[in-house]
Amino acid sequence: MKECPICHTQYEDSLNFCVKDGHQLNSIIDKPHTASTQNAVNDNTLKSSQKKQNKGCLKKIAIVAVVGIVALVLLYNHLVNAATYLRTEPAAVQVTKGGGSCKVEIDYDGYIWTVNHQPEWVHIDENENDFEMNVEPNLTGQMREGSITIQSGKQLAQVLIRQNAFATYVRASETSLKIGRSGETENITIESDGCNWIAEYTDWMVVTKESDTELRIKCPSNSGEYRMGTITVKEDNARTVINVYQAGDCNNCHGSGEVSCNSCLGMGGMGFGMYYSSCMWCGGRGKVRCGVCGGSGVRE
């Protein structure tokens, strides 16, 4: 192809002069670069330069990333393996059947410690220099043992755990209750190192286990005689007894306020005929005031 240098009209290679202005045609291959061609060349050069710069930046970033990772690995390795000693306080724990929690202090000269073993019935809440150990209740019926292993670098320490299988005590906040004749409801606190105590009681009461530490005792109104009942709270071989007394008619005089005289056996006197004499203790009535209720006929 050829091109007119004046009007830039392109012609076939067989023509030598422009038909419009008569100027000699130039070969497109031989003509100098136009402004647009030069811009295209410059764009290509700029893109090539930018690609080289981008590749250089990516290479630098990759190098920095690798160096950073290596530095982090070395730092972590240092922190993990810095300890020269590791101790726990306490080193052994005795736990009741009902379980519970215990704080364990960590004494070491390193930076990082971890728990790498614990029994499935023990839960751990870690802090900076200690951890809280929470032990589940032991319902297996057998004494159980386990250990928690602490590690800092190459240093190891253990906390030994022994848990009882049976309750050793059951205690009540009250061991004696006096209930009015109209009836009352009382709550008693139960303390035990077990986890499954039960209550056995006299049938005129209604006793319910409100929680692991609370017992509710409901006594209905009493229209009969004074009565006594017991509540036995027990678990395994441990137990405690709560005595309950409810007011009512005196069960000695049956509500009358009087009982037979012990001196004359209720006869009112002693002897026969002219030798008969009235009882000085009851005045010949054969009855005296009840000493249990004081003559009121009601026992509180």
For range 32-61, the mean pLDDT: 63
Question: What is the arithmetic mean of pLDDT over 245-257?
Answer: 94
170-249 has CATH 2.60.40.10 classification: yes
Where residue 168 falls among pLDDT bands split at 50, 70, 90? very high
Angle in degrees, CA 266, 271, 274, rounded to 5? 135
Does residue 280 have a pLDDT over 80?
A: yes
In this model, does residue 71 exceed pLDDT 80?
no
pTM score: 0.64
User: With contact defined as beta carbons under 8 Å apart, do 199 and 172 qualify?
Assistant: no
Per the CB < 8 A criterion, the answer to whether 241 and 231 are in contact is: yes
Give residue 46's pLDDT.
61
pLDDT at 290: 93
What's the mean pLDDT in 13-35? 67
- Phi, psi (degrees; rounded to nearest 5) at 136: -70, 155
What is the structure's pLDDT at 214? Answer: 96
pLDDT of the residue at 52: 63
Rounded CA gap, 62 and 64, in Å?
Answer: 5
Q: Give ∠ CA 293-297-300 in degrees, rounded to 5.
A: 55
pLDDT grade, residue 20 (50/70/90)? confident
The end-to-end CA distance of the chain, in Å, is 133
Among the residues of the chain, which ranges form H helices?
Answer: 35-80
Which residues in 278-287 are b (16+ Cβ under 10 Å) and which e?
Answer: ebeebeeebb
Instruction: Look at residue 59 in the predicted model and tell me its pLDDT.
Output: 80
Length of the chain: 300
Structure confidence at residue 82 as a pLDDT band (50, 70, 90): low
pLDDT at 35: 52
Model confidence over 201-238: pLDDT tens digits?
Answer: 999 999 999 999 999 999 999 999 999 999 999 999 99
* CATH architecture, domain defined by 86-163: Sandwich (2.60)
CA dist., res. 237 & res. 166, Å (int): 8
User: What local confidence, expressed as pLDDT, does residue 31 receive?
Assistant: 45
Cα–Cα distance between 162 and 134 in angstroms, integer? 13
pLDDT tens, position by position, 29-45: 644 445 555 555 556 66
